[in-house]
With several copies, the nearest count.
Chain A
Amino acid sequence: MAELVSLREAVAELVRDGDVVALEGFTHLIPYAAGHEIVRQHRRDLTLVRMTPDVLYDQMIGAGTARRLVFSWGGNPGVGSLHRFRDAVEHGWPGPLELEEHSHAGMATRYVAAASGLPFGVLRGYAGTDLSAHTANVAPVRCPFTGEQLTAVAALRLDVAVVHAQQVDRAGNVGLWGISGVQKEAVLAARSSIVTVEERVDALDPRCRVVLPSWVVSAVAVEPGGAHPSYAHGYSSRDNAFYTAWDTISRDRTSFSGWLRRHVLDTGGFAEHLRLLAEETHRAGAA
């Protein structure tokens, strides 16, 4: 049963050093507030999982939370490289980062298998590529009816899934709409789950395409704007300017470290970070 708690309590209770954790979101609804809280609480040695690690994972990797990354596409969409991710992989800063990488279709199939309680899933994929040479979680499988060879991928089970959604109702049911990614599968693939939401409502908006019943969610925290610079359909727009600005902030270790201290480590919570950002934008506009 979903407990309504502060994000600080949720992370303190549910995320442990060394856990396999996915903060999912496909451009939309990326749980930035929760990711910052994990950094603020100095979690270490996490295996971070996500189809599309973007700026949030760049921040978390740069902050040293991750020992390992399981993913399919790591970049700053429409902007370019993730500099902290590259620095970790290419130069081991702030520490080495093990990689396990797949295709999007492979990752999606792995989440679906885990959400379905199966040890593996089947797809047409990987054949002829170098991807399968670097992971033990891809193997051939033969169709018992046609003899055709297909590809099996191992179920991707998580310790903790973290997602952001638009709403939670009084009974603790979580609802989201717009681009829904693999959030449902991630939550159902995890032993426990944390959901941040824009707001608490009496009844979920009828547009909700995905509803997570209260009893499959471990903790819900209300964090308005908790997906910034990603967005929550119906509540906010993607802050494309921040994604572009990140390219400069993150290019250099010193500049990144300063930003991380100011915006994450030295803040009391995500709301303070959002206030700081607004002030900086205002100052930049005035300058």
Chain B
Amino acid sequence: MTATAPAGVPGSIVDPALPVPTADEVMTVAAARELRDGAVCFVGIGLPSLAANLARRTHAPRLVLIYESGTIGAKPDRPPLSIGDGELAETADAVVSVPEIFAYWLQAGRIDVGFLSAAQIDRFGNINTTVIGDYGTPRVRLPGAGGAPEIASSAGEVVVVLRQTRRAFVDRLDFVTSVGHLRGQGSRAALGLTGRGPTVVITDLGVLRPDPDSQELVLCAVHPGVDPAEAVARTGWPLAVAPRLGVTSPPAVAELAVLRALSTRGAAA
């Protein structure tokens, strides 16, 4: 399945009253579309949270949002700045402790979709959020693992959202923080991880999915107006491109309107 506008959303006609969507907006909308209604979604802060909240306000009103702060079924009016904003607790169906959210909910396999971002990603969807450079003497010290390693291993599937650049899409990670498809060829399954791993990587250029056999990421679709050569150029390994490359549907008017309203509310917070 490539990312297309969900049924019922009126096509791809962009409202002339709305500015042309930015690449980040196209990416966020494409990510939101990956979430089916009723799914239970473990959400990180930033783009994942924005996309999940967009999905909940468009095609997936019954999407269950879980934040690692222990809020289950949060229904924030605006995208939270942090994963522990008060509104998450106020609107949640249940608030549980942090040990419980990881043990009873994530580890036990109750999460359908984990939503992650990354500083570096490799061809098998493995993720680095720890350091750029050597671990002992890093060029850039990143925030670290957070909830990502167990989201990556235990969520039913993982959606990764990040901008496509040669600095991010690297031949070799400086540090493996969270496991995607490891070294491919079924090596993830051999590790005994309970979730299926990354099923899609959404970027500002297009949509990548793991090859069913090798698990190497393949460019399956580009966003409207994107040259696949640009995606290849912005990838630090020889990026495979699907023989029948798709084009994602541009953000629908309704999607973009909701996204912009959310972004404005988030920025005003």
Binding site for B on A (CB under 8 A): 1, 26-28, 51-52, 71-75, 77-79, 81-82, 85-86, 89-90, 101-105, 108-109, 111-112, 115-118, 123-131, 134, 148-149, 171, 173, 178-182, 184-185, 188, 209-216, 231, 233, 237-238, 240, 243
Contacts and interface: CB of A to CB of B under 8 A. Distances in A.
B108 A111 contact: no
A280 B179 CA distance: 46
A173 B93 contact: yes
Contacts of B94: 173, 211-213
B145 A124 contact: no
Q: Which 8 A-B pairs have the closest CB atoms?
A: A27-B84, A117-B108, A73-B146, A77-B82, A75-B143, A78-B81, A211-B94, A128-B179
B176 interface: yes
B260 interface: no
Contacts of B149: 103, 105, 125-126, 129, 131
Interface in B212-243: none
Contacts of B188: 128
Interface of B: 38, 40, 45-46, 64, 68-73, 80-86, 88-89, 93-95, 97-99, 102-104, 106-110, 130, 135, 138-141, 143-150, 153-154, 175-179, 182, 188, 191-194, 269
B194 A124 contact: yes
Given A86-B141, A127-B179, A105 B147 contact: yes
Given A104-B102, A238-B85, A129 B73 contact: no
Nearest to B46: A78
A125 B153 contact: yes
Contacts of A238: 81-82, 85-86
Nearest to A212: B94
A131 B46 CA distance: 24
B89 A178 contact: yes
Contact of B71 (A74, A179, A231): A179
A28 B141 CA distance: 25
9 contacts: A78-B45, A109-B102, A111-B99, A128-B153, A130-B176, A149-B192, A179-B95, A182-B98, A213-B72
Contacts of B194: 117, 124
A84 B242 CA distance: 45
Contact of A181 (B81, B97, B103): B97
A64 B107 CA distance: 37
Contacts of B98: 26, 51, 104, 108, 180-182
Q: Which secondary structure characterizes the binding site on chain B?
A: loop
Given A81-B143, A182-B98, 15 more contacts: A28-B84, A78-B81, A101-B145, A104-B145, A104-B146, A104-B150, A115-B103, A115-B108, A128-B182, A131-B130, A148-B192, A179-B88, A180-B70, A233-B86, A240-B269
Given A89-B138, A103-B148, A104-B147, A209 B95 contact: yes
Nearest to A111: B99
B153 A124 contact: yes
A1 B176 CA distance: 36
A109 B103 contact: yes
Given A51-B98, A77-B45, A211-B94, A127 B153 contact: yes
Nearest to A87: B141
Given A108-B99, A115-B108, A173-B94, A128 B191 contact: yes
A102 B147 CA distance: 10
A103 B150 contact: yes
B121 to A, nearest CB: 14
Most B C-beta atoms less than 10 A away, residue of A73, A103, A123, A215: A103
A103 B147 contact: yes
A72 B108 contact: no
Nearest to A52: B146
A276 B25 CA distance: 40
A105 B107 contact: yes
A101 B64 CA distance: 30
B86 A231 contact: yes
A95 B146 CA distance: 25
Most B C-beta atoms less than 10 A away, residue of A79, A108, A134: A108
Contacts of B154: 117, 124
Contacts of B73: 173, 213
B143 A73 contact: yes
B191 A130 contact: no
A104 B100 CA distance: 12
Contacts of B81: 77-79, 238, 240, 243
